[in-house]
Amino acid sequence: MKTLSGRWLFVPFLFIILWLTGCEGDDPGQPPTSPPQTATATVATPTAAVVEQRPENFYLIATDAPSRDGTFTDIDEFGTLVGYDAELMALLADQAGFEYEFVVTNLNGLFPAVAAGEFDMVMGALIIEDQPPEGIVYSEPYQELGQMLVVRANEIAIQGPAGIGPGMRVGVVANSPGEATARSVLNVADADLVLYMSAASAAQALVNGDVVAVVLNHMDAAFYTETYYQQLKIAGNQTGRNAWLSSRAYGIAVAAENVDLLERLNGAIEALQSQPDYSQLQMNWLARQVAIVPGESLIGTPSDEVVIGTTQALSDLDPAATVPNLLSWEVKLNTMTGLFRFDADNNLDPVLVEFINVQDEGLIYTISLKPDLTFPDGSALTAEDVQFSFLRAIRQGNFLLNGFLKDSDDDGFADTDSIELLGELSLRLVLDKPISYFTSVLATTPYFIVSKDCFPEGLAETSTCGGLGPYLIKEWLPGESLRLEANPDWPGRAPATPRIQIRFYPNSEALRTALENEAIDIAWNGLSRAEGAELEAGTFLGWNGPTVFKSYLVLVEDDPEDPPAERSPWNDPRVKQAIAMSLDREALASQIFGESRIPLYGPIPDGVPGYAEQTQTRNLEEARVILQAAGYSAGDPLSFTLHYLNDGRYTALEGEYAALIKAQLEETGLIEVTLEGAPWETFRPGSSSCEYSAFLLGWPPVGQPANFNDGMYWMEYFITNTERVCSHYESEQMAELLVQAEAADAMPDRPEARYALYAQMQALWATTLPTIDLTQEFSYALTASTVSSLRIDTMGLLRYDTIGKQDPSG
């Protein structure tokens, strides 16, 4: 059956500009004040030739185009009639078995022509009247649109029309039945009526708090209140037609005598309304389902979703990115993985690896992948994806690959053949030198595996492809939210909570408000310990993770290649020992930072793989003996300036912290300390150029995670980069231990030899003091009482798959 739904006819008489009356974008009886710009059409009544040419089972349909918003009828750039009516008639004709053609004409005064048989029907968003024009009948409604009052989800005052009063701003779609309803049913004055160009714009305004309510057609209202139920609802929580403030029914006009056509139309309308095509057509034209930015929940969080609030920014979702942003690494850890992966208990899991063999004294790693692993895009994870992922990161200049894999020409970029394919599920990695902890490095973000079918070769910072991880990335609205869902193809332990949402807040005040209003379940990396203590006094819970940040003292020795005019006191190792002995780390931690810090006596924080316990008791008497032996006295004390950051980059307590260090040192009676605080822009060049004699620093740098989860990360930099650190530390014994530790047994299930060497390095650290480590800070999260479990790893990353939540109603 040939259906001419895409064709329409210009009748060649009078040329006029047309406007549709009675459609969703119209207010009947209110003609436009200016002509539409999209199309013009000709017409009057059709010629006799047109009428006589109609064959049997062919109908001529009068319509008007374009409608004000193009919803029911419009003319596209190719001159084709489009819109809800045009597509609906195609379905009706197919259902009833007839052919047709549209004639674009002016509907004013057209009904007599239909009654006389010059047209067979009129379809132009006609509102069914109680009393049709003479000689005309209407079909059964092919569409009904009710108008509903939508309010914010936490609204309690507005339960219906009676809740709308003077001075209350109400939003509507301009020139829509909703506008007419707001005026006639709600009695909204012009000054209080806010006009929007679309239902999405009106809904967004309501979410933003620009209006107290909006009037939408029932399909738009259903979409926005069901999709964004945490933000919007129907006033009074009414449902169905009971919530309709007004309604309009749209039908097709035919001649009263044309009973056969009327019955065919009614039968087709009834049959069509139960078919999927009809529902899809409504969504395409009458309820466009345009997404909005929902903002935070106004009614608490769902029982099957954990909402995490943070003041940190999410910089990217590409593992090849070179900026080690703390939150970005955290999200990638929860949505991707490397060949190896640390679990929340610091166990190194070969999550993607079936077999590994380390050869040539630790230079070559032969790896076989587990079979039947699948990326979120549906593609299989193969050795080609591993090679593709590593080469992407290498080309971006990522140190964690270029600094470890073979670089035969020393150009700073790993060789492409350092990653060699051996088969579909096997490959070989070649290192530049033996690194015993390399499998720990393989567990870090730059080594995460992504699909070659989803990621480009270049950087894709905004990609939501993700990788093979505990969660799938469902939606990322930068600066607003990130939504994740549990990955059914994840080969590890299933996440404790099926859905995670991360919401981004501009400051700690907004974050705290969201937690107190139950819009989030967890406040993460944004509230101070003092704020946390206030909230913990109520119903909120505080969670300490491992210590992931250390504060240390750098004592700047003379650079041996640049003889100074005066010898630095720190060139005498006895003086550095006296400083270390004079400090009461327990008091520094507890008196200044309360429960947020504990003492640190060595370079590696507690709990990091390879940590060996170190202790040192404060001994002022021994410190005095050492200082006196070094030539200092009460009349000629050891004098130096201690520099520290005073801009809150570390904490707001750095001034008090430095003052207590000064007081402790001066208790010897042989030390005199001057304090000098500065902001980062002043402090950074002064410390990095070795201008300062002594200064306080923190590690890792603010906003960054540890590069990899191993004790070597906390030691190697301060041994091999002493000029950059400005300590100018040198120790042949320490250098030899470092070489031995890097060359130790590299098999991931045999770290004992490496850890034994780490213990020797930490013991030597306590006597030679590359740095004087002072305190270590816990990671910290504040949660609602419904959060039942939560784990933070030793890199300071929140493990989303460990977060459990109780149903408050249960």
Each residue's pLDDT tens digit, 376-430:
999 999 999 999 999 999 999 999 999 999 999 999 999 999 999 999 999 999 9
Q: Please check whether residue 485 lies inside any domain of the structure.
A: no
Each residue's pLDDT tens digit, 418-462:
999 999 999 999 999 999 999 999 999 999 999 999 999 999 999
Return the CATH number at 112. 3.40.190.10
- Closest C-alpha to 661, from 718, 601, 580: 580
Q: Please check whether residue 480 lies inside any domain of the structure.
A: no
pLDDT higher than threshold 50 for residue 1? no
pLDDT higher than threshold 60 for residue 370? yes
Question: Does 690 lie in the same domain as 621?
Answer: yes
561 pLDDT tier (thresholds 50, 70, 90): low
Q: Please check whether residue 738 lies inside any domain of the structure.
A: yes
pLDDT higher than threshold 90 for residue 32? no
Q: Please check whether residue 406 lies inside any domain of the structure.
A: yes
Q: Please check whether residue 320 lies inside any domain of the structure.
A: no
Each residue's pLDDT tens digit, 535-559:
999 999 999 999 999 999 999 998 6
279 pLDDT tier (thresholds 50, 70, 90): confident
The pLDDT score that the predictor gives to residue 106 is 82
Each residue's pLDDT tens digit, 721-733:
999 999 999 999 9
pLDDT higher than threshold 80 for residue 659? yes
In this prediction, residues 519-533 reach a mean pLDDT of 93
- Closest C-alpha to 145, from 98, 186, 178, 180: 178
- Cβ neighbours for 249, distance < 8 A, ≥ 6 positions apart: 127, 128, 141, 143, 144
Give the number of other CB atoms < 10 A from CB of residue 772.
22
Q: Please check whether residue 603 lies inside any domain of the structure.
A: yes
Answer whether the bond into residue 166 is a cis peptide, omega within 30°. Answer: no
Token pair 């408050």: residue: 808
d(CA 541, CA 537): 9
789 pLDDT tier (thresholds 50, 70, 90): very high
> What per-residue string of b and e applies to 271-299 under the rule 16 or more CB within 10 Å gives b?
ebeeeeebeebbeebbbeeeebebbbbbe
The pLDDT score that the predictor gives to residue 758 is 98
343 pLDDT tier (thresholds 50, 70, 90): very high
Q: Please check whether residue 306 lies inside any domain of the structure.
A: no
For 484-610, where are the alpha helices, taking DSSP H only? 508-516, 529-536, 573-582, 585-593
d(CA 217, CA 278): 17
Question: Does 610 lie in the same domain as 751?
Answer: yes
The pLDDT score that the predictor gives to residue 70 is 65
In this prediction, residues 102-126 reach a mean pLDDT of 90
33 pLDDT tier (thresholds 50, 70, 90): very low
- Cβ neighbours for 808, distance < 8 A, ≥ 6 positions apart: 300, 303, 786
Domain boundary among 440, 457, 474: 457
Question: Does 128 lie in the same domain as 200?
Answer: no
Return the CATH number at 742. 3.10.105.10
Full residue range of the structural domain in which residue 73 is found: 8-143+249-285
In this prediction, residues 608-632 reach a mean pLDDT of 96
Question: Does 273 lie in the same domain as 230?
Answer: no
566 pLDDT tier (thresholds 50, 70, 90): low
Global confidence as pTM:
0.75
Q: Please check whether residue 118 lies inside any domain of the structure.
A: yes
d(CA 773, CA 600): 6
Each residue's pLDDT tens digit, 48-93:
434 456 788 999 999 988 766 568 888 888 889 999 999 999 999 9
Token pair 């005019």: residue: 565
Question: Does 740 lie in the same domain as 773?
Answer: yes
Question: Does 257 lie in the same domain as 155?
Answer: no
Domain boundary among 424, 457, 490: 457
Q: Backbone phi, then psi, for 473, in 5-degree steps?
A: -85, 115
Question: Does 197 lie in the same domain as 67?
Answer: no
Return the CATH number at 353. 3.90.76.10
d(CA 420, CA 405): 12
Each residue's pLDDT tens digit, 36-49:
333 333 333 444 43
Question: Does 231 lie in the same domain as 255?
Answer: no
Question: Does 157 lie in the same domain as 107?
Answer: no
pLDDT higher than threshold 50 for residue 25? no
In this prediction, residues 134-147 reach a mean pLDDT of 95
Each residue's pLDDT tens digit, 290-315:
989 988 899 999 999 999 999 999 99
d(CA 391, CA 401): 9
Question: Does 411 lie in the same domain as 551?
Answer: no
Domain count across the chain: 4
The pLDDT score that the predictor gives to residue 27 is 39
Mean pLDDT estimate for the chain: 90
The pLDDT score that the predictor gives to residue 558 is 84
Domain boundary among 457, 490, 512: 457
Question: Does 91 lie in the same domain as 27?
Answer: yes
Question: Does 160 lie in the same domain as 109?
Answer: no
